[in-house]
């Protein structure tokens, strides 16, 4: 793997090899300001986690190294490099590109979303038509064989794509995007191969009749498109462009990926405003108003693209796709007046929905842990698991409708009953003409159509209570056991489907006391489940609004979301947070944990610190780069270059590699000054895309050069954020998190000591690390 | 004024008197790390600004001292005080109160919003009925006299309330709330008197027929309600409650006021989601997800309250109020299909809307500067100005309709034509039966009804092009000259009104090429004006969506907002930012200015620093408190209490006052330790509400006590955020802004110097301050 080497760097400051420095005296300076007891050998946090519950464990990728991102740099390389004549035209290009990228992300995601829709509707549609056609000829076993066969073939295709090409494409993708935006760059999460598998795997998976959605995968797709743009294209696939270098820093890439995530939701739900809010509320860890503006533009592009295509398809050019318009589940025709009894019923619905939602999270967690054992055994086991679940799903979908009785078609229905030759409300299944099977109408449809059926208003008696109950139980558990197999699988649709069924069931049970339409109950049920699992508020509210076009129901939807989230929050965390944690990604929360207030910054600093002198021997640098995995090294100025030893700043590994590659060494310890930078191109020091930077092996330094000196000042970040060693750890954590840092220097409080005590990185703030150091601290719950 | 004394403290670290310290040697320690040239006498930033363009200048309040807020404290006093046995029940109370307050704010703002609606509809309605009744009897002069007379009386009442009781209640209020949430506590901005005047002044002002809205005042009202709750009630009005002490810190109050602002928008537009987004996008400077959740709850309460009242009123219990339902301007009945030509027309509409919007901002700025000269001369001049504008408005409203010709009533109209006995689409004015005056239908209606008329769909020919043009010009300029007079005046409605008229005009002009309904053009025109003046995106989009209930138009609205904002941004800043600047409020932008990158933290530190020893003489402290206006003092530990001089932390003026009031002095320089705090009550050190803290005059310390010592350690914040003196100013500014600090310590880079170089406060980051110190730096535009 070309990124293998860089991968090791990910284990920031915590590498096992760094211990070796204590013996080998080749690096002359080291200093450790921490007490002896903390310096005992500890396994690096990440290595430990990789072996237990990391991403591999869950969907079976290869080893999963994690890179920390540095969002600190306030300015783009372009703006930072004042020492170079910055050209006006470049700045113009940069701004133009920012907007062009937003446009491209919007267009790309919109296109993918549309393509996904068409493909799913057609593949799944023709599959279902084949099955119902055979059913109508009473060839039940042939129908089942055709149905299950199609499903298994599609499932194997999706599973094989995931297992062999891009294991990172399995699952929802939202937790990974969320982690990326928090500063965690896990291996190949946003790679081109992941994008490819995500798009086609999602289409195949949804078409295969799994209880999965395309929403999470769409978010991941949008993020991948943005990432490929931001990384300057893909060298492996020969897609590069000179201009793209402007985005060679973590901050600009983060902004692009935020736009991509928003575009994904906008494309999946045809909800542009909901997309922006989703990115803001759930995905992003940092936000600024300029970003709101750009995200909004991106989702507007998505909306316009989708609308244009839907307009085009409404004339029947897209096969089975075409109905529906921009609103996916229009319920605006329903009467939305409600009484006090309705509100009580809705609150009860919210409470139970919250409990069921948090139970959903709990069960998903357990299932993922079990699956990880199977998935870890190899690609074929993954595919076997996919096949098993596919067959189980097919059996449920085809077997359970036999439990339902045939019902007489309503006489006043505006749609044909039973439905022939298209998906619709009334599936005939085994029933004779004039009758329909309500359970088959739910099971033998795409998930989208099933939701539409459940949301349909003024059709109170369409589904029997018993059918709803069977469907609810089946979908609830199928949804749980399907997430975690090796296909791209969104969580929104399973949750909405189960929630809508639950809501409609409650509506039927309350029909004697409540006037509200059962279709609206279904909507509120879906809201309660979403609130109970995802724990979002405003974004869910707006997404539901844009999905259903019913503004008058807004107060009730808000109420349900509030109730269900509150109830569910008392049991466990949101499903995405849970998965992030399960994958072992070192996610930094926005708030400090209460136990951090009992500690100071010095308390969590560990390991010997490796630092350089302002003008350092090449050999020393090379040795440090070879023997440690550190990504940042403090640079110290010492007499005669300063009055006393003082912290000059921090130098990054990647910059050191570029500097060494340039070979501008000198024989004496002299300050070479900024002019040395003139020998490098403007973007040599910019952050390369994944796997494209200079590697240690690329350096070709002979023994003679090892004794020469190099001036580190020009590449040193002279303004690192620092905290005093006695700073409360809680406040240090807030500083670290709010500013999106990768390294934070801890400086001594009193004088006459070495000018740096240590460096804090993301891992030093992780509960596992802190509680490992101080087992007596109890992480009590924060109010 | 009881806050006069505290007010002076607002001129943080920059007080003129602090210069006196250089001569009077009573404070033994001071140290200035800055070069001599920077120590020249400079007038404090705020004092200078107060005399030129401060708030007084604009609406004529009294002297306007400004207090900086400190959002740094991560934890509430309750959580911070670990040294005291923190009671579980207190924490429970605190959480309960947080939600109870959100509920109360929601209920209160909803009630006020509803009350405002009823009052305006009835007062203005009966006034208009009186005028039209007289008109229908051909008593034109009597009608005008009645109309103008009512208007003037209402206007004088509103103006007098503002001028005599609470000058701070004039204007929109959104800029002040925005500034407060940025950390600027201007005098009496959120006082109970302001609340009172805002509520009644707004009702009177809108009823008086001014081209003003109730939206800005509603936001201010919501914020005032929240502030009064957060400050522990009002002592002056005998509304206090023991539990309220939990919110005695700036951070919790900020959160409450954010909720209040959101509730205000929710109540004004009946747009709960829009309210949350408004608070997020426009009002708040800091945001966290827990707040989103609480804000959402607040606006949900507002929505439910409003819905309940509107349900109640729909049966005719509320006089002239009652029509409309929850959606203020429902346009959902219109067909929303559009072609390429429509989109081009809409883009053109957006471009011109953006230009007109930024021109609006430009003219408002000019008018405010002129008005400030008049308003500064006293309350009677203010009222005179109000009367002048009121008469001008009345003349326009009554005079201009004579220019329009009578039009035949449409035969297929569902509403009566001409309208009799109620507000409506067709005002007869001077016309005979069966005819109506289209211009009068716009002028002689409340602003809300005029907007509703303009938004009305399928009524293409209702308004003549000439009438629309006259109305547009009149409203555009009336809106501009009305803002800035001494009444509570929102900007949303004038902008929507002018924009809707502009849009309908464009729609009429394009009717040959564009299929889009003129009512939808009016909506898009309103969007373009809002985008051009307010420069919000997502929140405006959602507010418009909730106002009009037309989801299908969303892509077009997004497009218009994008275009008009982009165009307008190239001319000037948003109207609220402009007013904040005009008022001289030291607003901190989220990004650092480019010229800050050329400076380091040390460069902007000014003045001699006043610091205390860890165990300090009472007299020294008292003298420093008397002679400086500083709010925070660094505390230094020196031998024998530490090895060398080191920075212990920072102590706040208010905490010093509490400590001195307690009189726990000792004869020797000894460390008394934390147990001294046991002598104080749990919330003694919490931040008091405005005007309720201990004042310097309250201290009663005799000469003998002056020579005693007091240990400052227990009240010192031992973890102040620090930056090294060589830190880039841009990065220091980001740190200061992101963490919401009030003081930031600058520490020396090299050893052997005093442990603190200076303290940076908000004013040190203001462009006026920096460019005053370094006039050669050109503040070039940031890309």
Residues A394-417 have pLDDT tens digits of 999 999 999 988 888 877 766 677
DSSP B753: S
Q: Contact A281/B303, CB-based, under 8 Å?
A: no
Mean pLDDT for A187-195 is 87
Q: Contact B752/A538, CB-based, under 8 Å?
A: no
At residue A239, does pLDDT exceed 70?
Answer: no
In this prediction, residue A86 has a pLDDT band, given cuts at 50, 70 and 90, of low
Mean pLDDT for A676-705 is 73
Query: How many residues can be counted in chain A?
Result: 783
Highest averaged pLDDT of the listed ranges A120-129, B180-189, B352-361, B707-716: B352-361
Domains B10-66+598-773 and B340-582 alike in fold: no
Q: Contact B728/A719, CB-based, under 8 Å?
A: yes
Share of chain A above pLDDT 90, in %: 32
Report the range of poorest mean pLDDT among A27-36, A485-494, A720-729, B292-301. Answer: A27-36
Could you state, in order of their start, the residue ranges of all structural domains in chain B? Answer: 10-66+598-773, 340-582
| HSE-CB for B546 with a 13 A CA cutoff | 29
Provide the b/e sequence for A528-537 (b: ≥16 CB within 10 Å): bbbbbbbbbb
Report the range of poorest mean pLDDT among A539-548, B143-152, B665-674, B726-735. Answer: B665-674
Predicted local confidence at residue B258, as pLDDT: 94
pLDDT for A464-480, tens place per residue? 899 999 999 999 999 99
- With beta carbons under 8 A apart, name residues in chain A contacting B293: 537, 565
Spell out the residues 6+ positions from residue B570 whose beta carbon is closer than 8 angstroms to its own: none
**CATH classification of B10-66+598-773, choosing from 3.30.365.10, 3.40.190.10, 3.10.580.10, 3.40.50.720?**
3.10.580.10
Element holding A271 (H helix, E strand):
none
At residue A362, does pLDDT exceed 90?
Answer: yes
Predicted local confidence at residue A238, as pLDDT: 60
Per CATH, the homologous superfamily of domain A340-582 is Clc chloride channel (1.10.3080.10)
Mean pLDDT for A643-667 is 85
The mean of the pLDDT values for chain B is 80
User: SS3 letters for A683-696?
Assistant: CCCCCCCCCCCCCH
Q: In a 3-state reduction of DSSP, which class is residue A646?
A: strand
Mean pLDDT for B604-631 is 87
In this prediction, residue B364 has a pLDDT band, given cuts at 50, 70 and 90, of very high
pLDDT for B254-309, tens place per residue? 899 999 999 999 999 989 989 999 998 888 888 877 788 899 899 989 988 888 88
Q: In a 3-state reduction of DSSP, which class is residue B135?
A: helix
In this prediction, residue A359 has a pLDDT band, given cuts at 50, 70 and 90, of very high
Alpha carbon of B293: minimum distance to chain A alpha carbons (Å): 7
pLDDT for B114-165, tens place per residue? 999 889 988 988 898 888 888 888 888 999 999 999 999 999 999 999 999 9
Mean pLDDT for B404-427 is 73
Strand pairing category for B406-408 and B609-610: unpaired
pLDDT for B715-764, tens place per residue? 888 888 999 998 889 889 989 988 888 889 999 888 778 889 899 988 88
At residue A652, does pLDDT exceed 60?
Answer: yes
Q: Contact A719/B739, CB-based, under 8 Å?
A: no
Out of B554, B738, B783, the one facing A272 most closely (by C-beta) is B554
Spell out the residues 6+ positions from residue B149 whose beta carbon is closer than 8 angstroms to its own: none
Report the sign of the C-alpha dihedral through residues A331, A332, A333, A336, in that order: positive
Bridge partner list, B85: none
Q: Which two tokens stand for residue B288?
A: 């966290």
For residues B364 and B211, what is the distance between their CA atoms, to the nearest angstrom?
A: 14
Name the one residue in this structure whose structure tokens are 């007109």: B356
In this prediction, residue A49 has a pLDDT band, given cuts at 50, 70 and 90, of very low
In this prediction, residue A323 has a pLDDT band, given cuts at 50, 70 and 90, of low
Predicted local confidence at residue B23, as pLDDT: 26
A734 part of contact set with chain B, CB < 8 Å: yes
- H-helix segments, A376-517: 379-399, 438-443, 447-455, 465-482, 492-509
At residue A194, does pLDDT exceed 90?
Answer: yes
Predicted local confidence at residue A36, as pLDDT: 30
Share of chain A above pLDDT 70, in %: 81
Name the one residue in this structure whose structure tokens are 């919401």: B740
Q: Is the ipTM, as predicted for this complex, more than 0.90?
A: no
Mean pLDDT for A595-599 is 84
- With beta carbons under 8 A apart, name residues in chain B contacting A569: none
Residue B283 burial (CB < 10 Å; 0-12/13-18/19+)?
Answer: buried
For residues B378 and A396, what is the distance between their CA atoms, to the nearest angstrom?
A: 81
Spell out the residues 6+ positions from residue A148 whose beta carbon is closer than 8 angstroms to its own: A390, A391, A394, A395, A398
In this prediction, residue B22 has a pLDDT band, given cuts at 50, 70 and 90, of very low
Out of A281, A551, A718, the one facing B549 most closely (by C-beta) is A551
Alpha carbon of A213: minimum distance to chain B alpha carbons (Å): 24
Q: Contact A272/B296, CB-based, under 8 Å?
A: no
Share of chain B above pLDDT 70, in %: 81
pLDDT for A560-591, tens place per residue? 999 999 999 999 999 999 998 888 888 888 88
pLDDT for B496-548, tens place per residue? 999 999 999 999 998 888 888 888 999 999 999 999 999 988 899 989 988 88
Predicted local confidence at residue B690, as pLDDT: 59
Mean pLDDT for A113-137 is 88
The mean of the pLDDT values for chain A is 80
User: SS3 letters for A719-740?
Assistant: CCCEEECCCEHHHHHHHHHHCC
Element holding B659 (H helix, E strand):
helix B653-662
Out of A537, A590, A731, the one facing B719 most closely (by C-beta) is A731
Show the beta-strand stretches assigned E in A344-425: 406-408
Report the range of poorest mean pLDDT among A724-728, B397-401, B593-597. Answer: B593-597
At residue A90, does pLDDT exceed 50?
Answer: yes
Q: Contact A537/B292, CB-based, under 8 Å?
A: yes
A723 part of contact set with chain B, CB < 8 Å: yes
Within 263-282 of A, beta carbons closer than 8 Å to B belong to 272-273, 276-277, 280-281
In this prediction, residue B62 has a pLDDT band, given cuts at 50, 70 and 90, of very low
User: SS3 letters for B18-60?
Assistant: HHHHHCCCCCCCEECCCCHHHHCCCCCHHHHHHHHCCHHHHHC
Predicted local confidence at residue B184, as pLDDT: 87
Out of A311, A724, A750, the one facing B722 most closely (by C-beta) is A724
Spell out the residues 6+ positions from residue A490 whose beta carbon is closer than 8 angstroms to its own: A172, A202, A212, A213, A214, A215, A216, A217, A218, A268
The full DSSP string for B176-212 is: HHHHHHHTEEETTTT-HHHHHHHHHHHHHHHHTT-S-
- With beta carbons under 8 A apart, name residues in chain B contacting A722: 722-724
At residue B571, does pLDDT exceed 50?
Answer: yes
Q: In a 3-state reduction of DSSP, which class is residue B768?
A: helix
Spell out the residues 6+ positions from residue A463 whose beta carbon is closer than 8 angstroms to its own: A438, A441, A442, A453, A454, A504, A508
Predicted local confidence at residue A534, as pLDDT: 93
Predicted local confidence at residue A56, as pLDDT: 33
Among chain A residues, CA nearest to B754: A751
For residues A19 and B254, what is the distance between their CA atoms, to the nearest angstrom?
A: 47
Out of A292, A326, A731, the one facing B552 most closely (by C-beta) is A326
């Amino acid at each position: 793997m070309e990124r293998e080497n860089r991968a090791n760097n990910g284990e920031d400051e915590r590498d096992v090899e760094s211990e070796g420095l204590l013996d080998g005296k080749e690096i002359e300076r080291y200093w450790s300001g921490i007490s002896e007891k903390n310096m005992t050998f500890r396994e690096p946090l990440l290595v430990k986690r990789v072996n237990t519950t990391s991403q591999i464990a869950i969907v079976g990728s290869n080893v999963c190294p994690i890179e920390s991102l540095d969002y600190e740099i306030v300015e783009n390389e372009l703006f930072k490099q004042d020492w170079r004549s910055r050209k006006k035209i470049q700045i113009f290009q940069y701004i133009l590109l920012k907007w062009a990228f937003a446009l491209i992300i919007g267009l790309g995601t919109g296109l993918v979303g549309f393509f996904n829709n068409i493909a799913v509707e057609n593949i799944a549609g023709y599959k279902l038509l084949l099955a119902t056609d055979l059913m109508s000829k009473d060839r039940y076993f042939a129908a089942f064989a055709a149905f299950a066969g199609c499903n298994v073939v599609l499932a194997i295709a999706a599973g094989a794509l995931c297992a062999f090409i891009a294991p990172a494409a399995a699952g929802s993708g939202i937790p990974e995007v969320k982690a990326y935006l928090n500063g965690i760059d896990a291996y190949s999460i946003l790679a081109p191969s992941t994008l490819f598998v995500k798009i086609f795997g999602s289409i195949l998976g949804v078409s295969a009749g799994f209880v999965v959605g395309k929403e999470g995968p769409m978010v991941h797709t949008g993020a991948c498109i943005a990432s490929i743009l931001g990384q300057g294209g893909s060298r492996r696939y020969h897609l590069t462009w000179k201009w793209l270098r402007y985005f060679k820093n973590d901050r600009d890439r983060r902004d692009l990926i935020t736009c991509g995530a928003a575009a994904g939701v906008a494309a999946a739900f045809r909800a542009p405003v909901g997309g922006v809010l989703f990115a803001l509320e759930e995905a992003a860890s940092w936000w600024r108003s300029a970003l709101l503006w750009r995200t909004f533009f991106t989702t507007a592009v998505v909306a316009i693209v989708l609308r244009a295509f839907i307009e085009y398809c409404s004339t029947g050019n897209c096969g089975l796709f075409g109905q529906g318009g921009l609103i996916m589940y229009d319920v605006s025709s329903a009467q939305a007046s409600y009484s006090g009894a309705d509100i009580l019923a809705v609150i009860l619905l919210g409470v139970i929905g919250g409990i069921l939602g948090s139970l959903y999270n709990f069960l998903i967690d357990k299932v993922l842990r079990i699956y990880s054992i199977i998935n870890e055994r190899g690609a074929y086991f993954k595919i076997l698991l996919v096949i098993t679940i596919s067959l189980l799903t097919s059996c449920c979908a085809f077997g359970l409708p036999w439990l339902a009785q045939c019902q007489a078609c309503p006489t006043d229905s505006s749609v044909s009953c039973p439905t022939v030759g298209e998906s619709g409300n009334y599936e005939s299944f085994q029933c004779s003409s004039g009758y329909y099977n309500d359970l088959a109408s739910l099971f033998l449809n795409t998930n989208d159509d099933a939701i539409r059926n459940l949301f349909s208003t003024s059709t109170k008696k369409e589904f029997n209570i018993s059918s709803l109950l069977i469907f609810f139980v089946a979908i609830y558990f199928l949804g749980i056991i399907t997430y975690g197999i090796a296909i791209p699988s969104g969580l929104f649709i399973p949750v909405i489907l189960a929630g809508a069924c639950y809501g409609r069931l409650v509506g039927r049970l309350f029909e004697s006391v409540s006037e509200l339409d059962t279709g609206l109950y279904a909507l509120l049920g879906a809201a309660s489940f979403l609130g109970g699992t995802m724990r979002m508020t405003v974004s869910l509210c707006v997404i539901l609004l844009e999905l259903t076009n019913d503004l008058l129901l807004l107060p009730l939807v808000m109420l349900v979301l509030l109730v269900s989230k509150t109830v569910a929050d008392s049991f466990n965390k949101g499903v995405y947070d849970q998965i992030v944690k399960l994958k072992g990604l070192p996610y930094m929360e926005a708030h400090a944990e209460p136990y951090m207030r009992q500690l100071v910054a010095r308390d969590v600093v560990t390991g010997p610190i490796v630092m350089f002198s302002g003008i350092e021997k090449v050999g020393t640098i090379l040795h440090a780069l070879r023997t440690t995995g550190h990504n940042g090294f403090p640079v110290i100025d010492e007499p005669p270059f300063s009055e006393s030893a003082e912290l000059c700043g921090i130098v990054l590994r990647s910059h050191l590699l570029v500097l060494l590659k340039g070979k501008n060494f000198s024989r004496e310890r002299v300050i070479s000054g900024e002019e040395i930078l003139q020998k490098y191109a403007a973007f040599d020091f910019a952050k390369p895309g994944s796997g494209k930077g200079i590697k240690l092996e690329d350096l070709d330094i002979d023994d003679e050069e090892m004794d020469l000196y190099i001036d580190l000042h020009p590449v040193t970040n002279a303004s690192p954020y620092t905290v005093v060693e006695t700073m409360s750890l809680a406040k240090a954590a807030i500083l670290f998190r709010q500013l999106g840092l990768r390294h934070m220097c801890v400086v001594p409080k009193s004088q006459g000591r070495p000018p740096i005590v240590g460096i804090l990185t993301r891992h030093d703030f992780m509960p596992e690390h802190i509680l490992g150091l101080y087992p007596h601290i109890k992480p009590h719950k924060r109010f």
